[in-house]
Structure 1
């Protein structure tokens, strides 16, 4: 089975980042995570970050840097982790995809439950080095 490409948007505002709880229309609902989504054919990773954030929470963002790569626990997706800034604008979640949103510190993110192991690794090991 061929791995699909996906992006994870670590959306920063000051010292906080946007955590979303997966909505009812997506796989594995109820998990807390950063925003993420598939890269569409012909789309760059940066374009995917901008589009996914706009679709899921209505914010216009500027991708900054790719900071990590990982894969999902079922190995279906290769995840390209990008930091992006969202200094202004109101979060307007798509209710099918996003059940809840919170601006949290990395420590607060790690206290959310449930979260995916790969996301936990990013916040414990990768983000502190950035």
Structure 2
């Protein structure tokens, strides 16, 4: 069995904001960024010294202009994906409560979709497994 050498890990958090109708907010990556044009869950990198929840609160404020209390974040699932010489660990949280109206501050567009509709969107590979888990979680609640 061969070992894959990973130079570093990329620790990223994302959130599925769910509105009263059970729709999930996704944002479209700017075309000039890596994976530009793809739809993703809002979030970003965890900085040194940050907890995942603190990073997500910061990222959502920066990207969407909304405020989330860390207590409103519910860990849902994660993805582990190789990226060239790095490895991505992506944590997805569920959130139903926030303050403010989401705005596309760091994205081309925002859209609200039923979880089943997310399959019709072009999304990064690490986000795709989240759809079934998210749909099951929202059906159960």
Superposition TM-score tier, normalisation by shorter sequence: 0.7 to 0.9
1:119 paired with 2:130, answer no
Matches within 5 A, 1:35-114: 35-62=42-69, 63-74=72-83, 76-94=87-105, 97-112=106-121, 114=122
Name whichever structure is richer in strand by fraction.
1
Report how far residue 73 of structure 1 moved: 4.9
Superposed CA deviations along residues 23-43 of structure 1, whole A, max 9, x for unmatched, are 145311100111120001111
The answer as to whether partners of 1:18 and 1:102 remain within 8 angstroms in 2 is yes
| Post-superposition offset of 1:13 | 1.2
What runs of 5+ residues in structure 1 fail to find an aligned partner? none
1:32 counterpart residue number: 39
**Runs of 4+ that moved beyond 3 A:** none
More moved, 52-61 vs 17-26: 17-26
Query: C-alpha displacement at 1:87, in angstroms?
Result: 5.0
SS in 1 for 2:78: strand
- Residue of structure 1 aligned with 2:15, choices 1, 6, 9: 9
**Number of residue-to-residue matches in the alignment:** 126
Shift of 1:16: 0.9
Taking structure 1 as the reference length, the TM-score comes to 0.85
Q: Extract unaligned runs of 5+ from structure 2.
A: 1-6
> Within 2, Cα distance between the matches of 1:118 and 1:76?
11
